[in-house]
Chains A and B, each alone.
Chain A
Amino acid sequence: MNENWKDDVLNCVTGISKAEPNSLLYHTIREKIIYNARMKPSVVKKPYLALAAACLALVLTANIWIFNQSNVTSSLPTDYPIDLANFNLY
């Protein structure tokens, strides 16, 4: 069976001339870009976010350490026993 007709049909789309999009499309794109830029939430960049997280972790660790230290010191016996004599200095 002669199959050449199929090639002829298929060739009709080979290298067809380019269609042009609507001439107003560029303005629509610009408007969308401007709109997106206005609506974009302020995003913190990753390195800054990491730095902030590290600072927070440092502050928390320091707080915990200080809290533990104060517990340790408060549980120690006092060097100067509070007696009546100490209150009568003045």
Chain B
Amino acid sequence: MDESNQFEQHRLLLSQVAEGSEPAFAALYAMYKNSVYNTALSYLQNTVEAEDVTQDVFVKIHASAAFFQGKSSVKTWIYRITINHTLDQLRHKKRQKRFGDFVQLFQPGGTNPSLDIPDFDHPGVLLDQKEDARIVFKAIALLPEQQKTAFILAFIEDLPRQEVALVMNVSIKAVESLLQRAKKNLRSSLDFLLPDRRV
């Protein structure tokens, strides 16, 4: 199936979802569940939170299917909803962490491990690469939002640069620049996250 056909098929499915068709919603879910879940997982680095976001994203897709204007492809629209929702979730987590740090100031010696960023093992990573992947995900978590989005979409989700630009609503040149800066920041993060590898 060529791209424009697929584009139209997905649009048709979404209009059927807007009319209340359950099979259309099930088909749309089957097509995009992995993209939504894996994108959320790369940002949040927590399977339970990623599933919560996936749930919220599909509820939102169902609720706003009637308002889809067709200015972008369904895929781009779904990625945008996912990223916006995930970034909101991340900001909420950061606020919680800041509050936790503030509370800790008044509790000397007390720790709140639930608010720390734990080691994350992505289920899709090969066993012999798990250690390195854990470090890379830690470094990704330290990136600024825009660089993080560009890196996740381009390298982990493996989207073409043009699609990344559409999802992020920026030019392809801007995506390239974000990716360069992201890689530069990741490399410098690796220096202190993996000091024993510096030869």
Give the interface of A toward B (CB within 8 A).
1-3, 5-6, 8-10, 12-22, 25-26, 28-30, 32-33, 36
> A12-B132, A12-B133, A13-B133 known; 11 other A-B pairs, CB under 8 Å?
A1-B199, A2-B199, A3-B187, A5-B197, A6-B190, A9-B197, A14-B155, A16-B156, A18-B38, A19-B47, A21-B37
Assembly CA distance A30 to B199 (angstroms):
54
Assembly CA distance A15 to B62 (angstroms):
29
The answer to whether B158 and A15 touch across the interface, beta carbons within 8 angstroms, is yes
A21 to chain B, nearest CB (A): 4
Determine the main DSSP class of B at the interface with A.
Answer: helix
Q: Which residue of the partner chain A has the closest CB to B55?
A: A29
Q: Which residue of the partner chain B has the closest CB to A18?
A: B34
Segment 161-199 of B: residues with Cβ below 8 Å from A? 183, 186-187, 190, 194, 197-199
Could you say which residues of chain A place their CB within 8 Å of the CB of B58?
Answer: 29
B33 contacts A by Cβ under 8 Å: yes
B37-51 to A contact mask, C-beta < 8 Å, 1/0:
110010000010011
Q: Which residue of the partner chain A has the closest CB to B193?
A: A9
Assembly CA distance A34 to B51 (angstroms):
19
Residue contacts A-B, CB under 8 angstroms, 15 given: A1-B198, A9-B132, A13-B156, A14-B155, A15-B158, A18-B35, A19-B34, A19-B41, A19-B122, A20-B33, A21-B33, A25-B54, A26-B26, A29-B59, A36-B63
A16 to chain B, nearest CB (A): 4
The answer to whether A9 and B51 touch across the interface, beta carbons within 8 angstroms, is no
B110 contacts A by Cβ under 8 Å: no
Residues of B in contact with A, size category: 35 or more
Assembly CA distance A3 to B186 (angstroms):
12
**Complex partner residue of B125 from A3, A13, A32, CB under 8 angstroms:** A13
A30 to chain B, nearest CB (A): 8
**Complex partner residue of B37 from A1, A13, A20, CB under 8 angstroms:** A20
**Complex partner residue of A21 from B51, B132, B186, CB under 8 angstroms:** B51
**Complex partner residue of B54 from A5, A15, A18, A21, CB under 8 angstroms:** A21
Assembly CA distance A33 to B21 (angstroms):
13
B114 contacts A by Cβ under 8 Å: no
Q: Which residue of the partner chain B has the closest CB to A17?
A: B124
The answer to whether B197 and A33 touch across the interface, beta carbons within 8 angstroms, is no
A51 to chain B, nearest CB (A): 22
The answer to whether A9 and B63 touch across the interface, beta carbons within 8 angstroms, is no
The answer to whether B50 and A21 touch across the interface, beta carbons within 8 angstroms, is yes
Could you say which residues of chain A place their CB within 8 Å of the CB of B68?
Answer: none
